[in-house]
Amino acid sequence: MPEEISVRLEMRNQRLQEELKRIISSTDEFHLQHPDDQVACDLLILEFGDDLEKELQGLRSVMASGSSGNVFLVFSGSDPRIVIEAKRAGVKKVFSYPVKKEEIKNALRELKESKRENFPGEQRQKKGKILYLLGCKGGVGTTTVAVNLAASLAELDRSLCVALTDMTLPFGGIPIFLNVEALPDWHEVDQVISHVNPILLKSILFRHPSGMFVLPCLSGSDALHTADPEVVEGLLAVLRKHFDFIVIDGGKFTVQTSHKILEACDTILVVAVLSNPCLVNVERILSIFDMLGYSRDGKTKIIINRYDGHCPLSLKEVQQKISQEAFWKIPNDFGTTMTAIERAKVLFVVGRGKEICKSFKGLAACFLA
């Protein structure tokens, strides 16, 4: 069995320190280091004070020393730079004060699972891959790409369990695209998620004829329930245990909810078309992701939708501008795409054999390799 994970607390707030002690003491395979113990720890949980620059300087020194394998940060300020700078320095998780017990316990569980994966004698549990699709602006076809990528994954390998969901709050378009009503949504599934096994979970979700399982977000004013970052984080953690792929149709970027998805996902697919407004937004998105650390190790990839070689703006110009090559190009086939949308079908049903369908199959195959 893996050794226990050692935790050191460096807090100014005595109440916060006692609360964290209770949480850690009640979590299996973790133990608290004595304050006088100077040996390296597996996890350091720091509290930030009001002097941001001074705290960041101390944080960078801690990270450079290598005395802690992982660092969590708790802060009570409102400066938005805290999250960005902490992530850039290498902090694993950032929590706002007052902390939420379940958020801390989820983070500890994630750390424990990652330790187990690196332990040679431990049997590894398969974790599904989360693919998060974000449109650089409205109208670039993000939902079309998400729906047909998920359907293509399910068709390429029928042994796979593929889930398609959305966070396009408050107007998720997946039910409209697939012409299905009365689907269980994020909020409904969240109410029973802790009481269901994999078989029951899949029986609750709508299974599309393509083979993928569909879980939409709530719409309208009720969407506030699914915007809760804790709900998002908890559901994704469960879905990735029971599905091989989770394809998320992303919506408008919101700091708390999107941050949870960006942290959890394996790949971010930024959908764009060849236009100057899109190019400007792609640059902005990549700049933000670079600051947050989400562009490292090829995690962020660019998909050019409705690609047309005759567009005044060339693909080469785009790639030079954003200093990143396009990961995939989906050809422009307006007729087939609109037919699929109007008939509420996936593309390979109405256009099997066409280049656009072959392109989606090729894109899906990239994630099966």
Q: Where are the domains of the chain?
A: 5-117, 129-368
Q: Which of 90, 127, 354, 160 is nearest to 239 (CA)?
A: 127
In the block, which residue shows the tokens 């400066």? 79
Q: Does residue 148 contact residue 362 with C-beta atoms inside 8 Å?
A: no
pLDDT of residue 250: 86
Angstrom distance (rounded) from CA 362 to CA 131: 15
Angstrom distance (rounded) from CA 9 to CA 35: 8
Reported CATH class of domain 129-368: alpha beta
- pLDDT tens digits, one per residue of 50-89: 787 888 888 888 877 777 788 999 988 766 677 777 877 7
pLDDT of residue 121: 42
Does the CA dihedral 333-338-340-341 come out positive or negative?
positive
Q: Which of 212, 258, 269 is nearest to 236 (CA)?
A: 258
pLDDT of residue 218: 62
With a cut of 50, which residues of the chain have pLDDT below it?
A: 1, 119-124
pLDDT of residue 120: 44
Contacts of 286 (CB under 8 A, 6+ apart): 270, 295, 300, 322, 324
- pLDDT tens digits, one per residue of 134-154: 998 888 999 999 999 999 999
pLDDT of residue 161: 92
pLDDT of residue 358: 94
CA max distance for the chain: 70
Q: Does residue 164 contact residue 147 with C-beta atoms inside 8 Å?
A: yes
Identical topology for domains 5-117 and 129-368? yes
- C-alpha dihedral over 193, 196, 198, 201, to 10 degrees? -60
Angstrom distance (rounded) from CA 294 to CA 290: 6
CATH superfamily of 5-117: Response regulator (3.40.50.2300)
In the block, which residue shows the tokens 């099997």? 352
What residues are paired with 302 via a beta bridge?
270
pLDDT of residue 1: 43
pLDDT of residue 191: 67
